[in-house]
Amino acid sequence: MKVRLQRLLAEAGLGSRRNCESLIRAGRVSVDGRVAALGESVDPAEQAVLVDGLPVAAEAKEYWLLNKPAGVLSAAVDTRGRRTVTDCVPARGRVFPVGRLDLNSTGLIVLTNDGELAARLLHPRYHVEKEYVVTVRGTVAEAAVGRLRRGLILDDGQTAPARVEVLNRDRSSGRSDITTLRIIIYEGRKRQVRRMMEAVGHRVLRLHRTRFDGLTDAGLPLGQARPLFPSEVERLRNAGLRPPAIPPPAGADG
């Protein structure tokens, strides 16, 4: 049976479909000895598909949940030899992180070799929720909370509305107030939560992702990883088919 080439590569654990499309565009993929074309369909049972001269073989799918500690890079490999999230996961084969957390941020990150699922989880149209507990310098005014809830303008465009709850305001720090918030978003822009807080005038001191869709950090110590249960994988596959628990407020401002 024929399948799109980028889907075959993704299912073989070579990354998301977008990453696999980049491999094809770069001329690194061949089909029956010729350079592959983006968008073509192949029959893996009848045709020889190679990437960088090596045959593409289907890998057993793996799904892991890591509670990432600070100082670990959200990447599969690092040319500078820094510790990465894949070093924290005892996977049998190659896995890659679904999205990323900043080097100094902590919390949940999913790792898998299922490129199709990864692409779905990363696409904003599926509204896969990510929940963060964020500690910032200063007292966060209600006006700032309102801007976060409605959406605001960053240098790469306007954010979708976020669900924001102020958990506590600590005025005992002496030099400056400290505020802790819970922020829920479904986008995944680079350093998004930090940039959102900077846009309303607050520097992030600590950022921890406590939830990724229905997965939480309960019972998973910092630095530890565990395989996902089949029911959890199935829930992730259904991401986007469920309405959000609390609809975000309408409207936006910059």
CATH number at residue 36: 3.10.290.10
Looking at the fold, whether 45 and 154 belong to one and the same domain comes out as: no
**Distance of alpha carbon 13 from alpha carbon 10, whole angstroms:** 5
Residue 20 has pLDDT above 50, yes or no: yes
Looking at the fold, whether 164 and 83 belong to one and the same domain comes out as: yes
Catalytic residue, chosen from 78, 102, 177, 213, is: 102
**Which pLDDT score, from 0 to 100, does residue 248 have?**
47
| pLDDT digit string, tens, across residues 201-213 | 999 999 999 999 9
pLDDT band at 176 (very low <50, low <70, confident <90, very high): low
Looking at the fold, whether 26 and 68 belong to one and the same domain comes out as: no
Task: Calculate the average pLDDT of the chain.
Answer: 89
**Looking at residue 76, what DSSP letter applies?**
S
| pLDDT digit string, tens, across residues 49-106 | 999 999 987 678 899 999 999 999 999 888 899 999 999 999 998 899 999 999 999 9
SS (H, E, C) 119-132: HHHHCHHHCCCEEE
Closest CA to 112 of 242, 237, 210, 27: 237
Looking at the fold, whether 151 and 118 belong to one and the same domain comes out as: yes
102 catalytically annotated: yes
Which of 23, 39, 55 is where one domain is finished? Answer: 55
Range of the domain at 105: 59-254
**Distance of alpha carbon 57 from alpha carbon 52, whole angstroms:** 13
| H helix runs in 112-170, sequence order | 115-122, 142-150
Looking at the fold, whether 87 and 134 belong to one and the same domain comes out as: yes
Looking at the fold, whether 116 and 227 belong to one and the same domain comes out as: yes
Q: Please answer whether residues 109 and 99 qualify as being in contact, where contact means their C-beta atoms are separated by less than 8 angstroms.
A: yes
Looking at the fold, whether 36 and 69 belong to one and the same domain comes out as: no
Looking at the fold, whether 96 and 216 belong to one and the same domain comes out as: yes
pLDDT band at 23 (very low <50, low <70, confident <90, very high): very high
Residue 136 has pLDDT above 70, yes or no: yes
If one compares 162 and 114, the residue with the highest pLDDT of the two is 162
Looking at the fold, whether 187 and 154 belong to one and the same domain comes out as: yes
Looking at the fold, whether 50 and 169 belong to one and the same domain comes out as: no
Looking at the fold, whether 86 and 208 belong to one and the same domain comes out as: yes
Q: Tell me, what amino acid is at 27?
A: G
CATH number at residue 140: 3.30.2350.10
Q: Please answer whether residues 97 and 166 qualify as being in contact, where contact means their C-beta atoms are separated by less than 8 angstroms.
A: no
Total structural domains in the chain? 2
Q: What is the DSSP string of 177-188?
A: -EEEEEEEE---
Q: CB within 8 A of 224, min separation 6: which ones?
A: 66, 67
Over range 211-234, report the average pLDDT: 97
Tokens at residue 234, please?
């199935």
**Which pLDDT score, from 0 to 100, does residue 174 have?**
52
What are the C-alpha distances in Å from 170 to residues 119, 141, 179, 205? 39, 14, 6, 13
Over range 141-166, report the average pLDDT: 96
pLDDT band at 157 (very low <50, low <70, confident <90, very high): very high
Looking at the fold, whether 106 and 165 belong to one and the same domain comes out as: yes
Tokens at residue 250, please?
């309408």
Residue 140 has pLDDT above 50, yes or no: yes
Q: DSSP 3-state assignment of 233? A: helix
Q: Tell me, what amino acid is at 160?
A: A
**Which pLDDT score, from 0 to 100, does residue 168 have?**
85
**Distance of alpha carbon 44 from alpha carbon 52, whole angstroms:** 17
| pLDDT digit string, tens, across residues 38-51 | 999 998 878 999 99
pTM over 0.85? The answer is: no
**Which pLDDT score, from 0 to 100, does residue 114 have?**
87
Q: Please answer whether residues 240 and 128 qualify as being in contact, where contact means their C-beta atoms are separated by less than 8 angstroms.
A: yes
**Which pLDDT score, from 0 to 100, does residue 244 have?**
52
